Amino acid sequence: MTLTASASALDSLLPRIRSVYRDLHEHPELSFAEHRTAGVAAAWMRELGMTVVEGVGVTGVTGLLRRGDGPVVLLRADMDGLPVAEATGLAYASSARGVDPEGRDVPVMHACGHDVHVTCLLGALSVLAADSSWAGTVVAVLQPAEELGKGARAMVEDGLYDRVPRPDVVLGQHVAPIPAGVIGLRPGPAFAATDSLKVTLYGSGGHGSRPEATVDPVVMAASTVMRLQTIVSREVAGTDTAVLTVGSLQAGTKSNIIPDEAVLLLNLRTYDPRVRDRVLGAVTRIVEGEAAAAGAPRPPVIETFEQAPAVVNDVAGAERTKPALEAVVGAGRVLDPGPVTGSEDVGVLATSAGAPCVFWLLGGADPALFAAADDLEGILAVMATVPSNHSPLYAPVIDPTLEIGVRALVGAAGTWLGKA
């Protein structure tokens, strides 16, 4: 059915939505520590008369909005911030701090726009609660720890679908540095799978003046890093896609001490499970081979600490939902952005329920910056010049991003809900 957010309903709601967004942005929380954010969401949903369950998957929250018999539509938003020091200079910029999984005190920022996601979902629930034209059940999922790739799985393993009905579709959106007023929707493989690995290389430490009496893990690590770069260029076909990044190399404490070990942190992005398996196998082979070549006293240890499968948008579901999104932003403004190398764990909620997933990009950048961009190529060129997700400067514009985000969720939900 066609379901739209009326202008009058949104006009009265927008001031509160803007206020809640600024509050959430100013008070971000790290993964699995989203207690305040979860409380804001729970209070909002209870005010709407929804059935609310808190503490699902540590800090996750669910809400049910029922309108008799009919389809079950799950609307999802993630809640966690990142260990980033905000540098936007906004009046509502974050100065929050938190404790990361390693026990370190770190700055915290909503550098990925999850505050936008939460705000838009709460606004959409208000619009849906005030509309009596639809039938079915709306399941709201406020998910923790997307940034760790663990939150969706934590909620499922904590009995999510014992607490709420299994959905007929999972819908959601992610704000991105494309112009506000544009939506990106990719049928099929849309967001890459991610695997983060910790590699510990073991050497034999000693004095920097006597390297012959040691096995130097720094040299071992340097050789490993360089060799890993050949995986994508020499072991992945040109028709396939993979990204392998070594984001951290940590070893030693002083210039004249050869340490006992070095630690690499790797991140892998893929779309095809076959490519993923091939690359992971190559990582293991190279790491173990370099350690053996260096004469390491013990084998390296490879540990996976973050992981999420590719987000695959149901092709028929995307086609079904696209007209509702076009009704929000206009014909020709729902674009196929191509495969996104960023990753998301929203797909876990869909595959665990056996339901199709439809997940889109919500434009959040100032449209004025894109005034001269009249096609996707032009938009991508401008995107390369503006702060993106995970940047300390990333700041979606409030207007019209929040309004469009609310309307997109309402319209997409209406595509799948029944008629009263």
Q: Kindly tell me if the per-residue pLDDT of 6 is higher than 70.
A: no
How far is it, in rounded angstroms, from Cα 215 to Cα 185? 51
Q: Which fold has domain 193-307?
A: Alpha-Beta Plaits (3.30.70)
- More reliable by pLDDT, 39 or 377: 39
Please give the structure tokens belonging to residue 367: 């449209």
High-pLDDT (> 90) share of the chain, %? 95
**What is the pLDDT, as a whole number, of residue 7?**
65
**Domain residue ranges of the chain, discontinuous segments joined by +:** 7-191+310-419, 193-307
Topology alike, domains 7-191+310-419 and 193-307: no
**Once rounded to an integer, what is the mean pLDDT over residues 79-89?**
98
Q: Kindly tell me if the per-residue pLDDT of 364 is higher than 90.
A: yes
**Once rounded to an integer, what is the mean pLDDT over residues 346-350?**
98
Q: Burial of 18 by CB count in 10 Å (0-12 exposed, 13-18 middle, 19+ buried)?
A: middle
Per-residue three-class SS string for 222-235: HHHHHHHCHHHHHH
Residues in the chain: 420
Q: Kindly tell me if the per-residue pLDDT of 264 is higher than 70.
A: yes
11 band by pLDDT with thresholds 50, 70 and 90: confident
Integer CA distances (angstroms), 48 to 23, 126, 165, in order:
20, 7, 19
High-pLDDT (> 70) share of the chain, %? 99
Residue reference for tokens 């790797």: 266
Write down the CATH superfamily of domain 7-191+310-419.
Zn peptidases (3.40.630.10)
406 band by pLDDT with thresholds 50, 70 and 90: very high
**What is the pLDDT, as a whole number, of residue 79?**
98
Q: Are strands 357-365 and 169-179 parallel, antiparallel or unpaired?
A: parallel
Residues forming a β-bridge with 419? 134
Judge contact between 270 and 276, C-beta under 8 A.
yes
